[in-house]
Chain A
Amino acid sequence: MKRLWLNVRLFWQGAVLSYIGMFHWLRPSMYFSSKVVGPIWQVMFFTFLGTYATGEDTADFYIIGNAMQLVGINGIYGVTMSIAGDRYNGTLPYLFASPANRLVMFSGRAVVHIFDGMIGVLIGLAWGVAVLGLDLSQANPAGLLLVILTVAFSTSGLGLLMGSLSLITVNVMLVNNLIYYLMLVLCGVNIPVDRLPAWVQPISSILPLTHGLQAARELVTGQALSHVLPDIGIEIALGLVYGLAGFFVFRWIEMQAKRRATLEAV
């Protein structure tokens, strides 16, 4: 019982403190710039570009796509940096030296970002309704929330994998930016997946967001939740696969770093 309580405390404190440390909450402007102001411009830019390409009646496609893709800010940048930050701030050796349960500690890094990522998508959709005239009158709100949750989960799974890989590269932001932009290109955010080159489509199908985005678009047009359950299931499975892969990479790096005495190498 005591061990369970310790793990719950570790999970919760690790989750909250890593999140607080990242956004420098003493100065909330960083949060508002990255999560509230910046995202609306991304949604607007691609919506204008998209409607310039395919006509004004396709605006909803771009608004939903780009609003959903905002989970990447938390799932990719946030989760990755919450792990990479330990390396850069010099706290990684303390974590590796502690007897803390690694799975609890590792998964805790993603949990606040999952919920904050959901908030980011909701902000994006709210901007879409208020400024760009997105019509959500046919949408199933509970179903849409569930889809947003699963996309935030799967993206954070990829973020955990990227975070682990960030422990062996000095160019963390290069990797993060690359993944974030590849999601913009490959996940059906701005171009329907079936219009991408044939060799790209299998890659799209194993990336987080692709299936969730498809589900979200269908729910907004009034489809029943049961219709999109397979897509939701795939998103959850992808999140688990990426998250577990990230955990095993993390453990492997820990062992290698201890064996080779490279724990504090930056």
Chain B
Amino acid sequence: MHALANPGRFLRLTAIVVPVAFATAAIAIATGTIWGLFLSPPDYLQGDSVRIMYVHVPSAWMSLLAYAAMAVASAANLIWRHPVAGLYARAAAVPGLVFTGIALLTGSIWGKPMWGTWWAWGDARLTSMLVLFFIYLGYLALWSAAGDVSRAMHRAAILCLVGAINLPIVKFSVDWWSTLHQPASVFRVGGPTIHASMLGPLAVMAIGFVAFFVATSLTGARTHIRRARIRNLRARSQREGTAT
């Protein structure tokens, strides 16, 4: 992590990683789409509506993974004062927010035919995911509101770490409170309960979404580093202009 704190090294390394991640995402998502929509079998209870799972579940996983990545980067920013870590956290928030939005919307669309309702306020998983969505929005709003970048980075990092308390609540909400949402069926003690014919496309889509997140968050971080360079160049030019 300390090696990546150097912006030049970060840009050199990510120049290699980003195209590989984009290519992996394109191949995995294309494969997962064909497999999930046309080749995998319908569920014996849920019928073809189970095909929503192949976008809903990876999006929900990514919403948590993106936030966890932001929390680690924010902690690194606060502890070791690595600005690149703070900029990476900011870049990861955009795909994280969209993944959370996708998970909420696709879950609602899946809920209507299966539960008979678009939304249930009493369901802990749904409500905690909505809270996560608002935390993402608050994090991005804080970045935009604080004019100075270093101040914005510091305040947003603190908000991100405070908001991380919601991650275990989202993950274990289905175990702690028995409500509409089904318990975990993949990442659970005792192994997955889902059939291999459905686990395959789900895993491929998850790989695609992880690669997409890596590619977009690193591209965003590269943009923020360049933006910081623009600010530095402008400041230097103004200083030199004032001195002469």
Q: Decide whether A and B assemble into one complex.
A: no
B residues apposed to A, CB below 8 Å: none
A residues apposed to B, CB below 8 Å: none
